[in-house]
Amino acid sequence: MNARKMWTVVTILLILSSCAARVNLNDQQALAKAISIEHDDFKKITSYTGPNIGEKPDRLLIRAWKSDATGNIDYQIYVMDSYFYAWRFYDSAYDSNGNSLKATLISRNFYYDFAKIGIYEEDLGLEITREYLEKNQENGISFQISGKAGKKEVFTIPPAYIKAFLSVVK
């Protein structure tokens, strides 16, 4: 990819990201209001999805599913990393405290953007528990994903986001 195409893509992404409305990551009430709640009458599951706080074009959020039958709630950090050049084959995640987070590959996608530049995306689900969120609600969660290709990426979920999510999902 030549430098001109790269700068064009970077410039457009910066312009688009500055236009997007974002929730204040320090405003627990605004974050709580931005959490989506949907019930599936056929699966008998209620889904909770926090707002995306990833830097464009990445995605980062917490989500949960509550079973009508058992009342059990499963929690997950969802992360989608978008990048250029070659697959990273993400397969592991560790938080800043050295805890391993079970990483499940959701999907891998490759496409060309309008400038014919190849973009790679990998979607991962990191299994967590309510206890893990409660333990990290004062300091937030910082974690690193890494893959077989040796590349690493760091993401952070702020304390107010975790507190808001815990206040809604019960």
pLDDT (tens digit, 9 = 90+) per residue, 116-153? Answer: 788 899 999 999 999 999 999 999 999 999 999 889 99
**Phi-psi label, residue 98: left if phi above 0, alpha if psi -120 to 50, beta otherwise:** left
42 CB contacts (<8 Å, ≥6 apart)?
none
What is the average pLDDT value for the chain, to the nearest integer? 88
Range of the structural domain that residue 7 is part of: 3-168
How far is residue 38's CA from residue 44's CA, in Å, rounded to a whole number? 11
Structural domain count, the chain: 1
CA distances to 80, 109, 125 from 104, rounded to whole Å, are 12, 15, 5
CATH number for the domain that contains residue 60: 2.60.40.10
What pTM was computed for the model? 0.83
